Amino acid sequence: MVRCSIKRLIKTIIFLVILIVIFKNLLSYSHQSNVNKFEFKQKSSIIFIVSSYRSKTIQRLFLFLNELHLSYIEYKTIDEKFYNDLTTHIPSMIILDRIPNSNSYNFINQYQISLLILLNNQCHNCISMKYSQMLFENISYPTIDFNREELKPIIHTIQSPFKIKQSNKIIRLLRFEKILPYFFHFHGLHDQCVSLPIDKDNLINTIIYVENKITFEKINLMIISKEKQIYLSECLYHHWFIWPLMMDIFRYLTSNVYDYYGLNRYIQIDIDDIFLGSKSQDRLKSDDIQALIRSQLFIQNYVSNFRYRLGFSGYYYDLGNDEDNQGDRLLIKEKDKFIWFHHTWKHEKLTNVYDKISLISSTKMNIDFAQKYNLPLDPNYAVAPHHTGIYPINPILYDIWHHIINFNVTSTLNYPYHYMSPSNRRGFIYKGLSVLPRQSCSLYTTTRNYTNYPNGSHRLEQYLMGGKLFRIILTNPISIFMSHNINYGHDRLGNYVFSKLIYLISKWTRIKFSNDLSTSELARKYFYDFYPDEQLPIFTNPCHDQMLMNLWNGNRSLCRIFPQFLIVGPQKTGTTALYSMLSQHPDLHPSKRNFISYEELQFFSNDTTYLNGINWYLNQFDSDSIDSKWSMNFEKSATYFDSMLAMKRIKALLPNIRLIMMLTEPGTRAYSRYQHEIARTNQTINFDNLLQLNDSHNSNQFHLKERCLQPGHYAEHIRQWLNYFPSKQIYIIDGDAFRYDPRTILNDIQIAFLQLKNPINSSKLVKFNTKKGFFCPISKKNHFHCLGNSKGRQYEKMSSYAREYLNNYYLLHNQKLIKLLRNNNYSLPSWLTFFNRIQLTKRCFSLSNICHTAEGRMGYPNERYEPTTIAALDKENKNLPLITGLYEDGFMIAGQDRIVGAIFSFPRQIICWNVYSPEQITPESLALLEVVQPRPEIFVLGIGSRTNKIPPETIQFIRSLKIGFEILPTTQACETFNFLLTDNRLVYAGFFPQKDLTDQNYGLRKAIAHSQLYEKDEEYIKKDLLKDTYDVMLKAHRERKLLRPYSPLSRRESSVKQDDDTNVQSLTGTSNMEKRPSIKNRDQPETNKQS
């Protein structure tokens, strides 16, 4: 028996071991399958950066990412938002300023995302080494020292502690293979490098390291921990080689996605103002020209066929003294060694050129000069003095240069703004003329001597040896540098700067300069190979840049002509009516009407119109009407609403503009748009048939369907607008409320949104037209100015099929809209809610003598978009959830939490009750009483006003539960509930807001008459009820912060972190940072206290 038992035990153990092995294999297989699933999910081009604070290292990193034109999102911590964004976007890589914990690491790793971890003082597992403790070794590197007479490469020797592990798979740009040169960083006694110790068993993962000069201990400054994971010490960010090193890291971690156009670079060096000089010392002499030729020969060793490009103004040839003229003649003699381009005849500015004949004449005179002396002219390239007329754009200049003279390429450093970092200078194509970005070479017309360089000559050396100029070549496939003839005289800094820059790039990195190309070929590569998205210009506002202002016209009065607000649509929502009504205000001036798009300019959404330029745009407004600083121009174009390009263009030209949108029920809007298009295009397709089309059908008809349906994706388009503009600049109107009575909204726009100095009572702007059936603008003589017959038409009723189709089509879009509006503190439009409009308190302004009416909405969510769910108020405190405040739209709980709408109350919890009228208090709405445990002793039901009725079947249902119950007006129900609760009775209650509160103070006192808070009555009244005074209401309206309704879907817990990291109370729908006061519906201006 014992032997058998032992055998059975052994078999059992073996069986268990086999089961464990199989289970582990299954887990491994499951994990591998999950990893494979993530592997096939496409990654975005975004980089996530997690940094607890913006250190200098992180700031430098941001600047470099901008130079590389890489998109990134910054996070302070790895939190829920980070995880949500990670699963949504799947970034190409993540940069962290600390080592993540195991949970974060495992979560990130399952998506196979590359990691770059920066090591600093926050690293607990790291060791540190001071610079004074490091072992420095000699390294020789090639360079050029400044010498006015000759350019001679030399070898310098310097000591450096930074050693490179040979045969690594990351470093590709740097040519140094053992030690990296170290200069321009003066460390203190306590400066140190923080990093990980070297694993002696795994030395192959080390890339860069340093050694202790005494113990010879090594620490890693750059290491590959695992595949696609790199640790990098932040101390390397102080040194020149970090930038090519970072480019290699990005390339490696993204598997060559960021390859930065390979290793080939194109360079062009322009020398402007040839033959020009205000003083004799500013002209090139004969020996300067010989030195220029020598520097060109030196550069040709590294750039095949390289030649300087000389911009000339022929009028000034041979107009100097004998020494100057001798230099001019030598330059003409050596003309074939250079390439020449047009720089205007008399170096005239082209900003305000309106005489085409004189411009054509002067241009041809300069070209004739080139033909006279047989200059090797680039027939396609020209540069305007000071870049005038190029940007800001002078359309006349473009017409003449391209269509008459046949110039195809120019360049400027003023687009999109003058004071921009080199990485932000971009190009564009306008009227067939390609405008390439020019780069400054850090030499100016006042920079003449090496020793007198601004902030010292060492600053210029830093720019060349890993600094700004060095990075321009690194990060841009095409670099066009601007310089002046004066930079090649005096100390000949131009020769030195470009020769040394090209030499260092060639010797220190593996970047190769391609053959010298013509400007036409460079433009083709720039706009069609490297940056195809930059062909259309994006106009910026000259008023925001003093240099652009001077190049434009210098008249700042023009800045006031730009519109102050835009009505952006969408179409068929009533925007034309709003435009017409606002136009009646004497301080609001609309744009001029035209024969193509009538009242709409469509400047930002129509490419043809947009390319007319900002001068054309300003001409569409009446400049004489801006007679006071309180006057405002505005325009309305409904095509802006769903145009991404329009959003981008508006943001660039008018970043502080105020925007007005109007939303109507999207299905009704789509049907109205269909009727409009049918009437306009004479198409005959039925609306039901149109909705059934897909992309395989007739392209014109399917495009019509898209035009009808796509603008109704309100959440999608508004979210895009919010990416460009903050919510305080966007005013969203309920289109149904506006159609019902626009006067309230017009007053609110004048006072709260536009903040007009002289608002006018909207009753003097619009009146109801009984013949038309809607409100129309009125003139000063009280005459109607209604819109044409095409506006406000009554259409044939939509079919039931179309209505159902549109309801289902827009269901998800409307649910997203509810969430978006609430997250950005907007009230819900009435077509998304059960209740219609509720007219709120009217107050008269003593100063402006107008009645300001604010219209809000209860905003209870439509059951279609937000089904009934439970969100509980269950705070850990000793206070009972007594009803301590009654309002016409909700309740106050325990003097702390304001709840909008009906509630269901338990002894320790409050939940929202999606009941929107007493008639909806049905057995289904009370189904919770059937399942809740423990069973209540008594159920108290507050039905609102005394006159309200509930369905008879509801009373029968409550009786069938065999529990005690009381059905009372809400005021008495709250009193009963508080009394029973404080008496430790097991009581449940349902309360519906009471609409007929004549005195809220009285309702409050009745509600707490028998509660423990009775003695705090007066104190509480002071704290809470006085919040609803007129001053607070006025402030709320001016900030457009009406009480946002609470939705159970929007807040599931009492302390949920929002995107802006602010705690939000679960039942009030208001954030701790910005609580919205409510605005009551009172018939009397003052409430009389009752005893």
C-alpha 70: how far from chain center: 14
161 neighbors 182 (Cβ within 8 angstroms)? yes
Alpha-carbon torsion angle 980, 985, 988, 993, nearest 10 = 10
Distance from C-alpha of 818 to C-alpha of 281, rounded to nearest angstrom: 71
For 787, the 3-state DSSP assignment is coil
Distance from C-alpha of 558 to C-alpha of 562, rounded to nearest angstrom: 8
Distance from C-alpha of 1041 to C-alpha of 86, rounded to nearest angstrom: 32
Closest CA to 327 of 272, 276, 269: 276
C-alpha 837: how far from chain center: 34
Helix axes 644-653, 714-724, angle to 10 degrees: 20
Hey, which residues does 179 pair with through a beta bridge? 163
Ramachandran class of 602: left when φ > 0, alpha when ψ lies in -120 to 50, beta otherwise:
left
Q: How distant, in Å, are the alpha carbons of 372, 500, 739, 870 from that of 385?
A: 23, 27, 56, 70
843 neighbors 1030 (Cβ within 8 angstroms)? yes
Strands 264-274, 478-484: pairing is: parallel
> Which tokens is 362 given?
């002067």
List, in sequence order, every beta strand (DSSP E) within 120-227. 127-130, 137-144, 153-160, 163-164, 192-195, 206-211, 218-226
> Which tokens is 410 given?
């120019």
Distance from C-alpha of 1008 to C-alpha of 893, rounded to nearest angstrom: 11
> Annotated catalytic, 349?
no
Residue with tokens 């369907």: 705
Strands 93-96, 47-50: pairing is: parallel
Q: Which residue out of 163, 218, 500, 572 is catalytically annotated?
A: 572
Distance from C-alpha of 547 to C-alpha of 324, rounded to nearest angstrom: 32
Helix axes 80-89, 102-109, angle to 10 degrees: 10
> Which tokens is 137 given?
């070794």
Element spanning 884, H or E: strand 883-887
Residue with tokens 């309206």: 1037
List, in sequence order, every beta strand (DSSP E) within 344-475. 377-382, 409-412, 428-430, 433-437, 439-440
Distance from C-alpha of 69 to C-alpha of 1086, rounded to nearest angstrom: 60
DSSP for 87-120? HHH--SEEEESSPPPHHHHHHHHTTT-EEEEEES
Distance from C-alpha of 736 to C-alpha of 837, rounded to nearest angstrom: 9
422 neighbors 440 (Cβ within 8 angstroms)? yes
C-alpha 316: how far from chain center: 49
| CA dihedral sign, ordered 742, 743, 748, 750 | positive
Distance from C-alpha of 912 to C-alpha of 1047, rounded to nearest angstrom: 8
Distance from C-alpha of 1089 to C-alpha of 807, rounded to nearest angstrom: 48
Identify residue 703 by its one-letter amino acid code: H
Cis before 590? omega within 30: no
Closest CA to 50 of 107, 116, 106, 114: 116
- Alpha helices (H) along 467-524: 468-475, 493-508, 519-524
Buried (b) or exposed (e) across 955-989, using 16+ Cβ within 10 A? eebbeeeeeeebbbbbbbbbbbbbbbbeeeeebbb
> Which tokens is 119 given?
């090591």
Residues serving a catalytic function are: 572
